Amino acid sequence: MPLSMVDPARYQDLLARKCERVAALLDRFSPPDPAIYPSEPTSFRMRAEFRIWHEGDDLNYVMFRRDDPKTPVPIDHFPIACADIQQLMPLLMAALQANDLLRRKLFQVEFLATLAGDALVTLVYHRKLEADWEQAAAQLATDLQVSIVGRSRRQKVVIGRDFVREALPLQDSQFSYIQYEQAFTQPNARVNMQMINWACARAATLSGDLLELYCGNGNFTLPLAQHFDHIIATELAKISVRAARENMLANDIANIQIIRLSAEEVTEAMAARRVFRRLAELPKPLADYDLRTLFVDPPRAGLDQHTVRMAGNFPAIIYVSCNPHTLADNLEILCQTHRIEHFAMFDQFPYTDHMECGVFLVRQSSHSAADAEGQ
C-alpha cells in the first residue's frame, strides 16, 4: 500500500466506497444489510517490515511500489503502524547507524508488537552472525527493551524471546496469546477483537460441538470454546499448532483438541475416506463428536471445492474471509443449501481494496445433510 494513499481525513469516505464494492459483489446471495466495523484511521498495524537501504554511511527503511519495484522509497514516518512501532523505528535506526556490527549486510527489519505492550524486532542479514554480533544485539535489546531475533541463511539467533505476548479483552474475559515471530497473526489487533466478538455472538446461539479449520494460534478458538461442548481445531503450520496448544494451556481451556491436519485432510477424515494417525490424539473417535457447526478463516484462496462440499453438511457455518472474491466463489455452492443470516465487514486493511468479511450461514430447512453431500 503506497503511503500516499493514507489520508485519515478521507477515511470514512474511502471505507464507504469499499463497502459499496463488496456489497455489490455479494448482493446476488441476498445477504442482510452488513454490520460495518471500521478501523482506527492511523496507528492500527501491529506488524511492519522494511527493506534496509545502504547508501554510503546512510541507512534507510525503504519500501517499493508495485509499479516500480526497483526504486526504493525511503520511509521516515509510518503512520499506519501502532504507536510502539512508530516509537521504535527511529530509535532502532539510530542504533543501527552507530554500530558497524549491527548494520553490516543488514537486509531487512521486521517489527511485531501487541496491545499488551510487548515488542520484538527481527533483523535479517546476508552474512553469518557471529558471537560479536550476538553481544551487540543483546545490548541493543536491553537499550530498546525488546526481544531481538537475528536471521541469516540457515541461522536464527534469539535475544530474549522469539515471540510476543498479547492480551485481548473479549466478552467480559481476558485472553492471553503467544504470537511467534514470522508466524501468521492478525495485523490489526483492534479490528481483530471486533471479528472475534462478532463470531462469538453468532456462536452464542448454537450448541453441540465445533469443527474449526485454519485455527492458527487459536485466535478465534479460545473465545469460541465457551460456546461449545467441544472444539476440534485443525491447522497445518507447525509453529501455529505449537502456539495454539500453548495458548490453550495458558488460558486454562480444556474443551479444545488441536490436531495438525490440512483442510483437505479434514475433509477426507470427515468422509471416512482416510484414517489419520494424528486423529488418535482425540479422546474419542471423530464420528462420536456432535459436530453441528463449522468455523473457517481460510487464506486468500478460500476453501477448496472438496472442503466447500463438506461444509454443506453442517447446520451452521461461521465463515471469516480475507478475500471477498473467493468468498463469493464459495458462496455459489454454500448458498445452494444455506442462507446468509448475518453479514459483516471488518476493515482490517484501511486505504487498500482489501476487506475482511464475516458471514453466518444456516442450512435451509428444505436441505438435509444428505442433500448437501449429494450436491
- HEC string of 119-138 equals EEEEEEECCCCCHHHHHHHH
At 52, which CATH number?
2.40.50.1070
| 325 and 355 Cβ atoms separated by less than 8 Å | no
The active-site residue, picked from 200, 322, 335, 357, is 322
- Assigned domain for 217 exists: yes
Same-domain status, 52 and 158: yes
Q: Which domain holds residue 104?
A: 47-164
200 and 306 in one domain? yes
Same domain, 27 and 158: no
Q: What is the pLDDT of residues 76-97, one digit of tens each?
A: 999 999 999 999 999 999 999 9
**309-335 per-position pLDDT tens digit:** 999 999 999 999 999 999 999 999 999
- Per-residue pLDDT, 368: 52
Query: pLDDT below 70 — which residues of the chain?
Result: 1-4, 366-375
Q: Is residue 173 part of a domain?
A: no
C-alpha span between 3 and 1 (Å, rounded): 6
What is the distance between the alpha carbons of residues 251 and 222, in angstroms, rounded to a whole number? 8
pLDDT at residue 155, rounded to an integer: 97
Same structural domain, 132 and 268: no
User: Do 269 and 325 belong to one domain?
Assistant: yes
Q: Determine, yes or no, domain membership for 169.
A: no
> Does some domain include residue 340?
yes
- Number of domains the chain contains: 2
- Contact between 258 and 235 under an 8 Å Cβ cutoff? The reply is yes
* Interval 274-301: pLDDT, tens: 889 999 999 999 999 999 999 999 999 9
The reply to whether 335 belongs to the active site is no
Q: What is the CA radius of gyration of the chain?
A: 22
- The last residue of one of the domains, among 131, 164, 197, is 164
Do residues 29 and 54 share a domain?
A: no
In a domain, 349, yes or no: yes
Please report the pLDDT score of residue 356 as a whole number. 98
Q: Do 196 and 313 belong together in one domain?
A: yes
CATH code: domain of residue 318? 3.40.50.150
Mean residue pLDDT across the chain: 95
Residue 298 and residue 155 in one domain: no
Do 223 and 238 lie in a common domain? yes
pLDDT of residue 370: 43
Q: Which of 115, 149, 164 is the last residue of a domain?
A: 164
* Active site annotation includes 356: yes
| Residue 250 located in a structural domain | yes
Domain closes at, from 104, 132, 164: 164
Domain identity same for 342 and 251: yes
What pLDDT is stored for residue 367 in this prediction?
A: 60
- pLDDT given for residue 67 in this prediction: 86
Sheet with strand 106-113: strands edge to edge: 68-74, 58-65, 47-55, 106-113, 119-125, 147-152, 155-159
- Pair 319, 200 in one domain: yes
Q: Return the C-alpha cell found at 337.
A: 443449501
- Output b/e per residue, 264-300; b: 16+ Cβ within 10 A: ebbbbbbeeeeeeeebeeeeeebeebebbbbbbbbee
Same domain, 212 and 81: no
- How much is the pLDDT for 223? 98
109 within a domain of the structure (yes/no) = yes
Per-residue pLDDT, 196 = 98
Residue 155, domain member (yes or no): yes
Within a 10 A sphere around the Cβ of 58, how many other Cβ atoms? Answer: 9
Q: Which of 200, 212, 356, 357 is catalytic?
A: 356
Which pTM does this prediction carry? 0.94
